[in-house]
Amino acid sequence: MAHAEHEGTAPDTAEALRRSRFGALPERIRPQDTVEERPAIAPDPARTAYDPDEWLVRYCL
């Protein structure tokens, strides 16, 4: 409804309002500043604890 607020203003006033709001581009943001890298899940030490040689010794010998 922002358009309705300025509907009754003079054309030069409306242009000044528009230019003050949209007259300049925002500062440039580097692509490396827009990405956050973090692991999808927390590392699970039990997941990599399997040792096939230990299993073989425990159950087969």
The reported pLDDT for the residue numbered 3 is 53
CA distances (Å), origin 42, targets 38, 45, 47, 54: 9, 10, 11, 26
Q: Are 5 and 17 in contact (CB under 8 A)?
A: no
- State the pTM of this model: 0.29
Q: Is the pLDDT of residue 1 over 60?
A: no
**What letter would DSSP give residue 47?**
G
Average pLDDT value for residue range 25-38: 88
d(CA 41, CA 17): 48
